[in-house]
Amino acid sequence: MIDSRRIESVAGSSGLRPTFDARTPYEVFEREHRILREGVAGLRSALRSEPPGSSARLVESVDTVRGQLALHFAFEEDSGFMHYLRFARPALVPGIERLQSAHREILAVLTRVSTELNNGLSGIDVRATIAAVLEHLANHELDERELLRSALLSG
Ligand SMILES: [Fe+2]
Ligand SMILES: [Fe+2]
């Protein structure tokens, strides 16, 4: 049976070829993260321009980023560089496990923020939490970039 999650990714959902290719490892990696950064920019913009008393656009942006990240994380784990390195570089498995824990944490925070906004909290109430989770996400991307780079350098 074909697991449909294996071919999904944020790049794949926009019609681009989503397969991780060990010969060109950075190509898919960069494309994926470029699309994510566009979603994050939309969320930052919604956070800045949220009118008092309304959180509709902010909820939509949080949910959009959360949906993109859920696809992206599943792709990394099941078909992307983590899946590849887990078999090609067993010594890196502890680092991969830490990155996967970060996936769970980031999604959990965004789910909580979305629920809180739907329950009546305002953008001001969740601003610090969103800023913190976006910083976590940026650091996470740096960590996985470093893991991939070190794996490729070690041949
Ligand atoms: Fe990741
Ligand atoms: Fe990533």
| pLDDT-derived band at 3, boundaries 50, 70, 90 | very low
CA of 38 to the centre of ligand 2 (A): 14
Residue 19 in domain: no
Pairwise CA distance, residues 42 & 58, whole Å: 9
| pLDDT-derived band at 16, boundaries 50, 70, 90 | low
Domain that residue 123 falls in: 24-153
Residue 9: nearest ligand to its CA?
2
- Is residue 109 within 8 Å of 69, Cβ to Cβ? no
CA of 72 to the centre of ligand 2 (A): 7
Q: How far is CA 98 from the centre of its chain?
A: 14
- Which DSSP helix (H) or strand (E) runs through 120? none
More confident residue, 67 or 1: 67
More confident residue, 71 or 13: 71
Residue 9 in domain: no
User: What's the pLDDT tens digit per position in 86-131?
Assistant: 888 899 999 999 999 999 999 999 999 999 999 999 888 999 999 9
Residue 96: nearest ligand to its CA?
1
Residue 38 in domain: yes
Residue 124 in domain: yes
pLDDT given at position 55: 86
Residue 5 in domain: no
User: What's the pLDDT tens digit per position in 17-51?
Assistant: 455 566 666 778 888 899 999 999 999 999 888 77
CA of 103 to the centre of ligand 1 (A): 6
pLDDT given at position 4: 43
Residue 7 in domain: no
Residue 31: nearest ligand to its CA?
2
Number of domains composing the chain:
1
Q: What is the pTM of this model?
A: 0.86
pLDDT surpassing 60 at residue 7: no
CA of 90 to the centre of ligand 2 (A): 19
Half-sphere exposure of 107 (CA within 13 A, CB side): 14
CA of 31 to the centre of ligand 1 (A): 13
Task: Report the interhelical angle of 56-78 vs 81-88 (nearest 10°).
Answer: 30
- Is residue 113 within 8 Å of 126, Cβ to Cβ? yes
Residue 15 in domain: no
> Which residues neighbour 68 within 8 Å (Cβ) at sequence distance 6 or greater?
10, 35, 36, 39
